[in-house]
Amino acid sequence: MSLTRLLAIARKEVVQILRDVRSLIIVVLMPGVLVLLFGYGVSLDLKGLPVYVLDQDDSQQSQDLLKHFQASEYFHVEHVVAGYKELTRAIDDGHAKMGIVIPWDFSQRLRDGRLIEIQAIVDGSDDNSANVLIGYTEAVVQGYSAQMQINWLRERGISIQPAAMNVETRTWYNEDLESSAFIIPGVLALVMSVIGAFLTSLTISREWERGTMEQLISTPVTTMEIMLGKLAPYFVLGMFDTVISALIAIHWFHVPFRGSWATLMVASAMFMVVVLSLGFFISVLAKSQFAASQIALLITFLPAFLLSGFLFSIEQMPVVLQWITRILPARYYVSVLKKIFLKGTPAAMLYADLIPLVVFTFVLALVATRSFHKRLE
């Protein structure tokens, strides 16, 4: 193997990447964009949801209940309306995601110790936020209700610990933060799939399409030199982008990082080889750049998105799909990522995920190498 030839191929590939605006945008901006997209996209919706209130009682107690709603960061009480029609219209127009009706006899029932029904009308067209709203509303109301009960009992000389009420609230408040911490590590797998498979898949097919491959294979360069030379720049770029994404996750989104960087790098390097091999293989098989890029997206990005456990938990999937995820390298990598970030699992304990990843690495690299021949047929 000639180092000169290998470097010549690598150098050419780098120059071509740098001179192609589209690849450059993908390489430079995409990691950041993806992390920010998933970081914010998942959690932002569920705060400050607009709420309109119809307070038919307008007493000090009803005002007190309202304050509890306003104190929660999940609600934003936009408007207190005077009538039902205004309330329903606000929900219809989309100005409010939820309307709350406090009945006219709220304070009276409170004094009498009777059951009070607070009405909450929720915009169910957005399933996600509707569920959250209902949950939070129940929490706020129950919290208030418990508070009232404690007051009532205290007035009668019985004191009760309010501990139970608070625990529930904390769970709700944390869940959000956890979900972004849960999701972001998996974004690294997406970043790698795009760079490793999508960009790489263009490399061989582009040379065929442009006609330069014909001359290339008439020179003494070997298939190994072509493969390594072409993939090396993408490997470096992919690892670099992974580090950038990890840093954004940790320092911008404060995703906890409890494991070791060494393990992260090794696992990432392996996954990188996997996607690069896949990308190369696709590039060899596909007749055109267009076909190559579509196949790459279908085989790497889409499964990484839907089936790797990055966004949707594998345990909740139908059994058939769960079995399918076993042959997805992304599944193992995402699992490793989550464990390194969130649990700080040491490398030795990751064997269940790392061993399949190692196997994939070898098998796919071998397949890719064997797939390319210096021949026109």
Partner 1 sequence: MMDHFQSAIVVEGLTKSFPGVRAVDALSFEVRSSEIFGLVGPDGAGKTTTLRMLAGIMPPDAGKAMVAGFDVASDPEGAKHALSYMPQRFGLYEDLTVDENIRFYADLFGVNKAERDTRSEQLLQAAGMSEFRKRLAGKLSGGMKQKLGLVCALIHRPKVILLDEPTTGVDPVSRRDFWRILYELVAEGVTILISTAYLDEAERCHRVALLHQGKLLFCDTPANLKAKFGKGVLSITAAEPRILRDELKDAEGISSLLLTGDGLHVVVDNTARRIPEYEARLKRAKIPFDAIQQVAPSIEDLFVDAVGAGAAPHA
Q: What is the DSSP string of 129-166?
A: HHHHHHHHHHHHHHHHHHHHHHHHHHHTT-----HHHH
Looking at the Cβ atoms of 27 and 248, the one nearer to partner 1 is 27
CB of 206 to partner 1, least distance (A): 10
| For partner 1, the closer CB: 14 or 358 | 14
Tokens of 181: 């911490």
Give the contact letters, 163-202, x = binds to partner 1 (CB under 8 A), - = no: ----------------------------------------
Strands (E), the chain: 49-55, 75-81, 98-102, 119-122
Q: Which one, 319 or 376, has the nearer CB to partner 1?
A: 376
Q: Are 9 and 17 in contact (CB under 8 A)?
A: no
Residue 97 Cβ vs partner 1, minimum distance, rounded to whole Å: 51
Rounded to an integer, what distance in angstroms lies between the CA atom of residue 362 and that of residue 352? 17
Give the SS3 label for residue 215. helix
Q: In what order do the strands lie in the sheet with 75-81?
A: 75-81, 49-55, 98-102, 119-122
Query: Cβ closer to partner 1: 24 or 298?
Result: 24
Nearer to partner 1, 20 or 138 (CB): 20
Instruction: Please tell me the distance from the alpha carbon of residue 279 to that of residue 296, in angstroms, as a whole number.
Output: 6
In the complex, least distance from residue 11 CB atom to partner 1, rounded to whole angstroms: 8
376 binds partner 1 (CB under 8 A): yes
**Of the residues 212, 290, 323, 362, which one makes contact with partner 1 according to CB under 8 A:** 212
Residues 12-41, interacting with partner 1 (CB under 8 A): 12, 15-16, 19-20
Residues 6+ apart with CB under 8 A from 55: 62, 63, 66, 80, 102
**Binding residue (CB under 8 A) for partner 1 from 28, 153, 214, 323:** 214
Strand 119-122, strand 75-81: pairing: unpaired
Of positions 67, 210, 258, 326, contacts partner 1 by CB under 8 A = 210
Query: Interface residues for partner 1 in 216-235 (CB under 8 A)?
Result: 216-222
Which C-beta is closer to partner 1: that of 7 or that of 33?
Answer: 7
Question: Could you write out the DSSP letters of every residue in 106-120?
Answer: HHHHHHHT-----EE
Which residues contribute to the site for partner 1 (CB under 8 A)? 2, 4-5, 7-8, 11-12, 15-16, 19-20, 210-212, 214-222, 374-377
